Amino acid sequence: MKQILQNLSTGQSELVEAPAPRARKGQVLIDSTVSLISTGTERMLVDFGRAGVISKARQQPEKVRQVLDKVATDGLMTTVDAVRSKLAQPVPLGYCNVGVVRESGAEGFAPGDRVVSNGPHADVVSVPRNLCARIPEGVSDEAAAFVVVASIGLQGIRLAQPTLGESFVVTGVGLIGLLTVQMLRAQGCRVLAVDFDAGKLALARRFGAQVCNPAAGEDPVAAGLAFSRGVGVDGVIVTASTKSSDPITQAARMCRKRGRIVLVGVTGLELNRADFYEKELSFQVSCSYGPGRYDPAYEEGGQDYPIGFVRWTEQRNFQAVLDLLASGALNVGPLISHRVAFEEAPRAYELLSRDKSALGIMLTYAHPVEARHGTHVALHAPGPAIAAGKPVVGFIGAGNYASRMLIPAFKAAGARLHMIASAGGTNAVLHGRTGGFATATSDTDALIADPEINTVAIVTRHNSHARLTAQALRAGKHVFVEKPLALSRDELDDVQTAHATSGRHLMVGFNRRFAPQVQVMKRLLGAVGAPKSFVMVMNAGAIPADHWTQDPAVGGGRIIGEACHYIDLMRFLAGAPITSVQARRMGDTDAEAVTEDKAAIMLGFADGSFGTIHYLANGGASFPKERVEVFAGGRTLQLDNFLKLRGFNWPGFKKQSLWRQDKGQRACAAAFLAAVEQGSAAPIPAEELFEVARVTLDIAEQLRAQA
């Protein structure tokens, strides 16, 4: 498979060869035939990538504030690493794809169907069912490539609610604007098109609109009033992309009383209240393709909205545009300005930056289909032969945490990085290249079965941890799995059974116990025989209730998914088994009732120690994320955000400060790999891993019973 990616750090577009994605439940695997470059959105991404650091910061002031908050809490060097890592991650381009279904795991689609989807520019794409629509006979692939981008304009029209005979203005007649002009005309509206480009206005006139060109000295407000016969236009749809607020100001001044303004594009929003107040104007921002956009349950989970309550969803908007194309009411032929073979895609993006008049740039996929579906891609030559028992690692998962933390940690510890797998294939190639892996794959089963691999690292979504861990253990592999180990007792029992018969090491990524300052705390506490009391605070920050980590079936919720770190840390510092568990959640409002991310957890230990974990998602972002305090034998230790450790009344110890935050990821990986290579005891006894997992499940059950 090949896919186009954009580097946000350099602005370069790259055609990357990657393993083909695998067919998944609820998704459609598609062999692409054509895809359309969205000149507005994709030019903006390219220009952003090519901009300097200062320009990037000016374009995203809200990101600058987040960076400054992170500097204040996590330190400068940690923040610099995070920003560099974020900018270095290429993003896929494109969202207007047409192709033929190869495999279907989704109801309503079958192999051989021609479909349009919001898939990226890639010769093989895997797309959820609600983001696809079958193409009717009589509509060409090239015409269908305009469906998704046209749906953006259509959703703006639906919000404006035009009626037969009304007068509408479309400000900015690029690709979306010209499609919007045609759809308004099909609705029976009179249309005035406003743009600075005479060529685009000529097309708008060809589609039945009157035109206004401010570059020629024409006044849009005067033109709008004249067009409406002096009463003001009924509505304005703004499809322009500009930093200026003029399009909205002009829209307000040319509207009649109670006129409607819908922003589909991107403009400045420095508005004059009087322009809106005196006419009681309606102003609304349109959200992409329509209802369902950015709703994970709809887009990823395949849950449709009942048609009786939500007539027009993303998918139904796609279908409506296809019907317009089939009837001839929408003519997209004149909008194709260039055709470029997919293999020459980088040239298309040079053209996009150079030719500002470019409209519909069509990428064509004429190369053989079967050659696209390889599941393995060689990245680097395999290393020299190594001694038996030395870790040869396969990574399952190539997301942000794997690429930023775990892969560098395993590499620094001297592991042979042999193969990396990701479901989509592309991330495996990107992070496999930088990490030094020999092979990238989209076939997880093949990775686990590979006889060269003796160690598997699992860094996937939480609901796959237990299944993959048990599978790898039964295949005779040592396993490092990111937390949590399991989301249910049945899953945990399966892992425990697999481990008991495997004779292999099992490690959960509880890195905090390996942090250098925590190691100092453990050493100091070893001299104290009295019971200890712990106060631990995780200022976790809010995550939307519909985020996958909050879903009990996918992420397990934030207690299972993240607070387990502190349960393990307290177990480590106490050095004794957990004997009692109590948990209390904050009284929720109705809107928050589905979450369990504001809770207090009290643990009791066999040696008489006890501690409280405050896991809180309602704190200030500028407050440190993590704090650990230990009270024992008339002494106190306080660790702030893994940067500053202080001792109070502690003989021989006052403080230890770090320049860079260190939560122990590298030491954790090194300890595990050393145990694998040397055949020594696991860094964390398996009994403790299973104990912490069971206690975490107990806590989650207590909190859910209080909901």
At 30, which CATH number? 3.90.180.10
Q: Domain for residue 311, yes or no? A: no
Is residue 236 within 8 A of residue 208, CB to CB? The reply is no
C-beta atoms surrounding 493 within 10 Å:
15
How distant, in Å, are the alpha carbons of 113, 133, 299 from that of 129?
A: 13, 8, 8
Least confident of 13-22, 534-543, 693-702: 13-22
Of 368, 389, 416, the one marking the end of a domain is: 368
Identify which of 424, 692, 435 has the alpha carbon closest to the alpha carbon of residue 574. 692
Higher pLDDT: 47 or 652? It is 652
**534-571 confidence digits (pLDDT tens):** 999 999 998 888 889 999 999 999 999 999 999 999 99
Query: What pLDDT was estimated at residue 107?
Result: 92
Query: What pLDDT was estimated at residue 321?
Result: 98
Average confidence score pLDDT of the chain: 91
Q: Domain for residue 25, yes or no? A: yes
Q: State both tokens at 351.
A: 């053209």
Least confident of 71-85, 162-176, 424-438: 71-85
Say if residue 71 is exposed, middle or buried (CB neighbours under 10 Å; 0-12, 13-18, 19+).
middle
Residue 48, pLDDT above cutoff 90? no
**115-164 confidence digits (pLDDT tens):** 999 999 999 999 999 999 999 999 999 999 999 999 999 999 999 999 99
Identify which of 46, 60, 57, 52 has the alpha carbon closest to the alpha carbon of residue 12. 46
Arithmetic mean of pLDDT, 295-324: 95
One domain, residues 258 and 342: no
Using DSSP's 3-state secondary structure scheme, residue 356 falls into coil
Separation between Cα atoms, residue 95 and residue 372, nearest integer Å: 20
Separation between Cα atoms, residue 147 and residue 117, nearest integer Å: 8
Separation between Cα atoms, residue 90 and residue 528, nearest integer Å: 51
Using DSSP's 3-state secondary structure scheme, residue 416 falls into strand
Arithmetic mean of pLDDT, 294-318: 94
Separation between Cα atoms, residue 94 and residue 116, nearest integer Å: 13
One domain, residues 463 and 480: yes
CATH number for position 172: 3.40.50.720
Residue 377 identity: V
Q: Residue 385 — pLDDT band, cuts 50, 70, 90? A: low
Say if residue 370 is exposed, middle or buried (CB neighbours under 10 Å; 0-12, 13-18, 19+).
exposed
Residue 58, pLDDT above cutoff 70? no
One domain, residues 44 and 99: yes
One domain, residues 168 and 281: yes
Residue 487, pLDDT above cutoff 60? yes
- What radius of gyration do the chain's Cα atoms show? 29
Identify which of 35, 168, 52, 26 has the alpha carbon closest to the alpha carbon of residue 108. 26
One domain, residues 136 and 153: no
Q: Domain for residue 310, yes or no? A: no
Is residue 152 within 8 A of residue 289, CB to CB? The reply is yes
CATH number for position 684: 3.30.360.10
Identify which of 536, 480, 537 has the alpha carbon closest to the alpha carbon of residue 508. 480
Separation between Cα atoms, residue 284 and residue 581, nearest integer Å: 50
Query: What pLDDT was estimated at residue 358?
Result: 80
One domain, residues 599 and 617: yes
Of 482, 509, 536, the one marking the end of a domain is: 509
Percent of the chain with pLDDT over 90: 79
How distant, in Å, are the alpha carbons of 398, 513, 672 from that of 460?
A: 8, 22, 19
One domain, residues 516 and 466: no
Residue 70, pLDDT above cutoff 70? no
Of 227, 262, 285, the one marking the end of a domain is: 285
Q: How many CA atoms lie within 13 A of 388 on its CB side?
A: 0
Q: Domain for residue 487, yes or no? A: yes
Q: Residue 56 — pLDDT band, cuts 50, 70, 90? A: very low
C-beta atoms surrounding 367 within 10 Å:
12
Give the total number of structural domains in the chain. 4
Query: What pLDDT was estimated at residue 267?
Result: 93
Q: State both tokens at 463.
A: 């609901």
Q: Domain for residue 300, yes or no? A: no
CA angle 45–47–51, rounded 5-degree value: 115
Separation between Cα atoms, residue 51 and residue 400, nearest integer Å: 24
One domain, residues 491 and 527: no
Query: What pLDDT was estimated at residue 52?
Result: 54
Is residue 446 within 8 A of residue 376, CB to CB? The reply is yes
Q: Domain for residue 306, yes or no? A: no
Count the helix, strand and coil residues of the chain and give each as a percent rounded to the nearest 5.
40, 25, 35
Pairing of the two strands 114-117 and 416-421? unpaired
Pairing of the two strands 533-539 and 610-616? parallel
Least confident of 35-49, 253-267, 357-371, 551-565: 35-49
One domain, residues 121 and 214: no
Arithmetic mean of pLDDT, 86-110: 87
Higher pLDDT: 682 or 81? It is 682
Query: What pLDDT was estimated at residue 590?
Result: 47
Q: Residue 389 — pLDDT band, cuts 50, 70, 90? A: confident
One domain, residues 574 and 529: yes
Identify which of 451, 510, 496, 458 has the alpha carbon closest to the alpha carbon of residue 479. 458
pTM: 0.87
Arithmetic mean of pLDDT, 619-634: 92
One domain, residues 359 and 466: no
Query: What pLDDT was estimated at residue 53?
Result: 53
Query: What pLDDT was estimated at residue 109?
Result: 96
Q: Domain for residue 316, yes or no? A: no
Arithmetic mean of pLDDT, 165-193: 97
Identify which of 53, 4, 287 has the alpha carbon closest to the alpha carbon of residue 154. 287
Q: Domain for residue 209, yes or no? A: yes
- Domain extent, residue 701, equals 512-705
One domain, residues 491 and 640: no
Pairing of the two strands 190-194 and 167-171? parallel
Query: What pLDDT was estimated at residue 66?
Result: 60
Query: What pLDDT was estimated at residue 47?
Result: 62
Identify which of 401, 351, 254 has the alpha carbon closest to the alpha carbon of residue 39. 351
Residue 449 identity: A
Beta-carbon contacts of residue 124 (< 8 Å; ≥ 6 apart): 1, 20, 21, 29, 30, 31, 32, 102, 372, 373
Separation between Cα atoms, residue 687 and residue 247, nearest integer Å: 65
Query: What pLDDT was estimated at residue 12?
Result: 75
Arithmetic mean of pLDDT, 463-480: 98
**437-456 confidence digits (pLDDT tens):** 999 999 999 999 999 999 99
